[in-house]
Amino acid sequence: MAGPLTGYRIIELAGIGPGPFAAMMLSDMGAEVLRVDRADAVRDGAAPPFWDVGGRGRRSVGVDLKRPEGREAVLRLVEQADALIEGFRPGVTERLGVGPDECLARQPKLIYGRMTGWGQTGPYAAAAGRDINYIALSGTLSMIGRIGGPPVPPLNLVGDFGGGGMLLAFGIVCGIVEASRSGKGQVIDAAMVDGAALLAGMMHGLRASGQWGERGTNLLDTGAWFYEVYETADGGYISLGPIDPTSCEEMLRITGLADDVDGGGPVPDPSDRDSWPSMKRRLAAVIKTRSRDEWCGLLEGTDACFAPVLGPDEAPQHPHIRERRTFIELAGVVQPAPAPRFSRTVPTVTGPPTRPGQHTDEALSDWAFSGEDIARLRAAEAIR
C-alpha cells in the first residue's frame, strides 16, 4: 500500500537545507516530488550523492530558468501540480518569472510554499543568514545551554529542520486540504525565525508563569538533577529524566540514593531548587561508579525514565530501534526511516538521492511533455 500522499504532485525548485527536507518528508509520505535543478548544476556522468539523505525519493530535471523556454516548461509543470516549494530570497522567483502570481495564474489551486530564514517581510527579509542567526533572533537560542556558559547551538535542528522544513511540509499539507474544499490556492510564508519561536512556545508560557529563569537553571535545560546527562565509569553517558514523583522514586531506589549509599543524607524534595546543584553532584558521583552497560542492565525497562546516550553508529543497532526499523539502509547509507507511522497507507522511500538532471527526459514525458516538446527545449538549451 502506498503512502498517504500518493497521487499528489509537488514541484521543488532545488535549494539547500529546509526546502529539501520538506520535499523529502512529502516524498516519504507518497507524494510525487519533482526537483527542478539548475541546468548548470547538471554534470553528465557524475555519481549520485547517496550521502545526501535529504535528497532521497524524487526525480530531477535540469532546467535553465533564465531562458524563456525554461520558464515556460516549469509553468507547464505547475499546471499539473498541487504544490510548489522554493527556498530563494524574497523576490527571486518573481524575477525569474515563476513567482506566485505567474504560478497561480496557471494553477489556481496551487499551494506555493516559500521557505526563508527571515520571512518574506520585515527589516531582515533581504539579508543573508543561517540557522544559528534565525534561532538567535527568535529568542530560542538564548534559552539553550548550561548555567554560566554561552548559548549552545543545537546543531541546525531547530531552525533549518524543525522550525523550517517540517513546518513548511505541515503548511503545504494544510494548504492542500483547504484547497480541496475551496478550490483556491495560496502562498505559504514559512520562516525559520517564526518556526524557531513556535517550537519554544512552552518555555514562553513557563516564563510568563515565573517558572523559567536564567539559562541552565530550569527543569528542562540541565538545571535539575533529575533531568540531566551523566558520565559513567567507562566514559559513556546516560540520560535521566524522572521529573514525576513515581519515576524519581524508582530512579533513586535503583541508584541507591534512596538508601543514602553515598552518605549524603536524605534526598531533598525535587521541588527544592536550592538543592539542585548539590544533588546533581551527588548523583553524578554515584553514576560514575558503574559503566554505561551496567546502568543499562539496572535501569532499562524500568519507570526511571532512562536511556543510554548512543552514538550515531550505535543507535541503529539498539534492540528497540532495530525492532521498530527506525533506520533503513539505502544505497549503502544508513539513514532515518520515514516517520510517522501509518497503519494502512505505509510510507516508503522510493529511491536514493539522484544527481541533478538525471531524469529530465523521463520525468518530462511522465508530466505530459511530448517527444517533440522535449526536443525543442533541448535545442533551445532550456533543459539539460
pLDDT (tens digit per residue) in 246-265: 999 999 999 999 999 999 99
What is the chain's mean pLDDT, rounded?
96
Is the confidence at residue 43, as pLDDT, over 90? no
Establish if 212 belongs to a structural domain: no
Residues 14 and 150 grouped into a single domain: yes
Would you place residue 25 in the very low, low, confident or very high pLDDT band (cuts 50, 70, 90)?
A: very high
pLDDT digits (tens, 9 = 90+) for 137-156: 999 999 999 999 999 999 99
SS3 state at 157: helix
Confidence label for 46 from pLDDT (cuts 50, 70 and 90)? low
Q: Same domain for 44 and 171?
A: yes
CA distance 103 to 108: 8
What is residue 296's three-state secondary structure?
A: helix
Is 100 found in the same domain as 173?
yes
Judgement on whether residues 188 and 249 belong to the same structural domain of the protein: no
The answer to whether residues 241 and 283 belong to one domain is: yes
208 is a domain residue: no
Share of the chain above pLDDT 90, in %: 97
Range 327-352 average pLDDT: 95
State the residue range of the domain holding 304: 228-320
95 in a structural domain: yes
Q: Determine the 3-state secondary structure of 113 from DSSP.
A: strand
- Tell me, yes or no, whether 297 lies in a domain: yes
* Domain total of the chain: 2
At 180, which CATH number? 3.40.50.10540
Predicted confidence band at 47 (pLDDT cuts at 50, 70, 90)?
Answer: low
- All three cell numbers of 249, joined, read 522514586
Q: How far apart are CA 143 and CA 123, in angstroms?
A: 24
Three cell numbers written together for 253: 531506589
> Which pTM value belongs to this model?
0.95
206 part of a folded domain? no
Q: Please list, in sequence order, all residues whose beta carbon lies within 8 angstroms of the beta carbon of residue 92, skipping any fewer than 6 positions away.
A: 86
Q: What grid cell was written down for 97?
A: 518569472
What's the rounded Cα separation, in Å, for the pair 31 and 41?
A: 24
Statement: residue 372 has pLDDT above 70: yes
Q: What is the pLDDT of residue 49?
A: 75
Strand partners, 84: 11, 112
pLDDT in the model for residue 190 = 98
Per residue in 48-90, pLDDT (tens digit) is 678 899 999 999 999 999 999 999 999 999 999 999 999 999 9
Q: CA-CA distance, 270 to 276, in Å (whole number)?
A: 8
Is the residue at 359 inside a domain?
A: yes
Q: What's the distance, CA 222 to chain centroid? A: 23
CA distance 206 to 29: 35
* Residue 1 clears pLDDT 70, i.e. is over it: no
Residues 312 and 353 in one domain: no
Q: Reply yes or no on whether the pLDDT at 207 is more than 90.
A: yes
Question: Does the residue 215 lie in any domain?
Answer: no
- Same domain, yes or no: 143 and 261: no
Instruction: Identify whether residues 246 and 309 lie together within a single domain.
Output: yes
Query: Based on the domain organization, do 98 and 232 belong to the same domain?
Result: no
Q: What is the β-pairing status of strands 186-191 and 237-240? A: unpaired
Condensed to tens digits (0 to 9), the pLDDT of residues 342-366 reads 999 999 999 999 999 999 999 999 9
Query: For strand 306-308 and strand 237-240, is the pairing parallel, antiparallel, or unpaired?
Result: antiparallel
Q: For residues 288 and 232, is the Cβ–Cβ distance under 8 A?
A: yes
Q: What is the DSSP string of 235-287?
A: S-EEEE---SHHHHHHHHHHHTGGGTTTS--SPPPTT-GGGHHHHHHHHHHHH
**What's the CA gap between 331 and 322, in Å, rounded?**
19
From the CB of residue 193, how many other CB atoms can be counted at a distance below 10 Å?
Answer: 25
Could you give the CA distance from residue 359 to residue 377 in angstroms, rounded to a whole number? Answer: 15
Domain assignment present for residue 223? The answer is: no
Q: Which of 320, 348, 370 is the last residue of a domain?
A: 320
The x, y and z cell numbers of residue 297, run together, are 542492565
Give CA–CA dist 47/355, Å, rounded: 7
Residues 104 and 60 in one domain: yes
CATH code for the domain of 309:
3.30.1540.10
What amino acid positions are annotated as catalytic residues? 160
pLDDT, tens digit, for every residue of 149-197?
999 999 999 999 999 999 999 999 999 999 999 999 999 999 999 999 9
Q: Are residues 165 and 245 in the same domain?
A: no
Q: Is the same domain home to 57 and 132?
A: yes
Q: Characterize the bridge pairing of strands 327-330 and 333-336.
A: antiparallel
